[in-house]
Structure 1
Amino acid sequence: MFAIIETGGKQYKVQNDDVIFVEKLAAEDNTTVDFKVLAVETDDGLKVGTPYVEGSSVQGKVLKSGKGKKINIWTYKAKKHESRRMGHRQPYTKVQIEAINA
């Protein structure tokens, strides 16, 4: 059984006990979050929502929140002796999928 969920403007294919990294959620560690379900596959077949599947949900447990690896950005303008260095660390939330309710 699997489901396709939406969070943070992205879609993820998940199964029970999967660990995924999603965009930062406003949730504390060791709390449960619910996700919107776009499609769910069961023994009866695949159910696709318009846009979400009614009566189904995916529950996940927040393991931790943090920041990803640093990305260095270097901008340069030729013949102007102008350059600038920037860095970015994308915040994330690590979630373990606990239950898929179809």
Structure 2
Amino acid sequence: MYAIIATGGKQYKVSEGDVISIEKLGAEEGEKVTFDQVLAVSNDGLKVGSPTVDGASVEASVVRNGRARKVIVYKFKRKTGYHKKNGHRQSFTQVKIDKING
């Protein structure tokens, strides 16, 4: 059994027991979260919503909050002496899928 959920502007295919990293949520470690935007559920047959499946939800628990590896952004223009170095670390929340209600 799997489901396709939408969170943080992205879509994820999840099954029970999966641990996924998603865009940062405002939840602490150990809290339960519910995803209501379920685009499709496959139990015996595939149920596709338009745009979401009515009455379907996915329950998950927050494993940890963290930040990804640093991405270096380097801007450079030749012959002018212009260079600028910048870094970015994206925040994420790691969740474990507990139950798919379809």
TM-score of the pair, normalised by structure 2: 0.97
C-alpha separation between the residues in 2 aligned to 1:26 and 1:60?
A: 14
TM, length-normalised to structure 1: 0.97
- Hey, what does 1:18 align to over in structure 2? 18
* Percent identical: 50
The superposition leaves residues 19-41 of structure 1 with CA deviations (integer Å, 9 ceiling, x where unpaired) of: 00000001111011111200000
CA distance in 1, matches of 2:66, 2:4: 24
Alignment gaps of 5+ in structure 1 = none
What residue is the counterpart of 1:68 in the other structure?
68
Q: Take 2:11 and 2:90, find their aligned partners in 1: how far apart are those partners?
A: 18
Cα RMSD, aligned residues only: 0.6
The amino acid that maps onto 2:14 is V
Runs of 4+ in 1 over 3 A off after TM superposition: none
Q: Which runs of 5+ in 2 are unaligned?
A: none
Paired residues for 1:23-62 under 5 Å:
23-35=23-35, 36-43=37-44, 45-62=45-62
How far, CA to CA, are the matches of 2:34 and 2:69 in structure 1?
27
Q: How many residues align?
A: 101
